[in-house]
Amino acid sequence: MRPALQPGDWLLVDPTTRRWPRRGTIVVVRQPASGRLVIKRVAARPGDTIRVPGGQHRLGSAEAWLLGDAPEISVDSRRYGAVNLDHLVGRAWLRYGPFGRPFGPVGQPSRRRSAR
């Protein structure tokens, strides 16, 4: 997730998130099948149509399409498909450490980006 996040960053995660946040937001989810805690970015939300090999796919009412920021090495929805809301752990909200890393919100899409 570089440069947005670096290994070792301390993040406050909002676990009260009950729906998929807007595109561009960084979320912590349980990876389908493995249950591993992983951190990804919301690329598409319920009702969005995405392009997949061989056509288009419309996401269900609880589904999101999650992608890592490093497409060459990230294991994300391209591998395990759309992720259901019950896998969502929370929204990554704030980086508060460690010392020397910038303090503040992470992964908030800018107004311009979310409008695209």
Residues in touch with another protein (CB under 8 A):
1, 5, 7, 10-11, 28, 31, 33-39, 68-70, 73-75, 79-80, 89, 96-98
Helix (H) or strand (E) holding 103: none
C-alpha distance across the termini of the chain, in Å: 21
Evaluate whether 92 touches 28 at the Cβ level (below 8 Å).
yes
Kindly tell me which of 6 and 49 has the beta carbon lying closer to another protein.
Answer: 6
| Minimum distance of another protein from residue 1's CB (angstroms) | 4
Kindly tell me which of 5 and 44 has the beta carbon lying closer to another protein.
Answer: 5
Q: Tell which residue, 21, 62, 66, 19, has the closest CA to residue 39.
A: 66
| Minimum distance of another protein from residue 30's CB (angstroms) | 10
| Minimum distance of another protein from residue 69's CB (angstroms) | 8
Tell me the C-alpha to C-alpha distance, in Å, between residue 25 and each of 5, 54, 56, 66, 107.
12, 27, 23, 10, 5
Kindly tell me which of 45 and 78 has the beta carbon lying closer to another protein.
Answer: 78
| Minimum distance of another protein from residue 97's CB (angstroms) | 7
